[in-house]
Amino acid sequence: MGEPAVTVTRFLADQWPIYRALRLACLADAPDAFGATLAEQQDWPDMLWKMRLQAGVASADACPLLASCDGVPAGIAWAKLEDGDVHIYQVWVAPACRGRGVAAALLDAGINWARTTPAGGVHLSVALSAAAATRLYLRAGFRPHGPPHVLRAGTDLLSQPMYLPL
């Protein structure tokens, strides 16, 4: 049996239920890795999820990404042009698909999209506890950019900003 087929595409506006399911799964799976929490987003009404994804899909400054592994939704990332650089957020892969290149494919898609913008570089932040993610970003050429900062208010969780010049 061969390697699983990994594909990364931009989300379509009508795929908001998939985005919602993956986003909630990532917050449940990795509660110490993101600025948002499951408690904050699990009760959002469908209309909010729909509007959030529709706005991202419609914007020339955003690139919401969906990864699939053997045709099954398996991961997300969101790239956004802000203040002259692209910022990548929400990178996550379902546990069953980890170690198969899904995260690297999402990251590559975000970086490739950034190269189509006037951005000078790509920023992201990684939780200090996320060793595998940190290794992925270092392999892609990102380097620490400034000191760690508090991941979200009310915690002592830290996140390391990283930067990749384009």
Tokens coding 3: 């390697």
Phi, psi of 51 (to 5 degrees): -65, -40
Q: What is the pLDDT of residue 47?
A: 98
Check if the beta carbon of residue 59 is closer than 8 Å to that of residue 154: no
Residue ranges of the chain with per-residue pLDDT less than 70: 1-4
**How high is the pLDDT of residue 2?**
62
CB-CB contact of 157 with 32 (8 Å): yes
| Span 5-30, pLDDT tens digits | 999 999 999 999 999 999 999 999 99
- pLDDT, position 39: 96
CATH number of the domain located at residue range(s) 6-119 in this protein = 3.40.630.30
Domain spans in the chain, listed from the N-terminal domain onward: 6-119
Rounded distance between C-alpha atoms, residue 133 and residue 164, angstroms:
15
- Print the SS3 string covering the chain: CCCCCEEEEECCHHHHHHHHHHHHHHHHHCCCCCCCCHHHHCCCCHHHHHHHHHHHHHCCCEEEEEEEECCEEEEEEEEEEECCEEEEEEEEECHHHCCCCHHHHHHHHHHHHHCCCCCCEEEEEEECCCHHHHHHHHHCCCEECCCCEECCCCCCCEEEEEEEEC
- Alpha-carbon distance of 36 to 104, in angstroms, equals 23
pTM of structure: 0.95
- Predicted pLDDT at 157: 94
pLDDT tens for 104-124 read 999 999 999 999 999 999 999
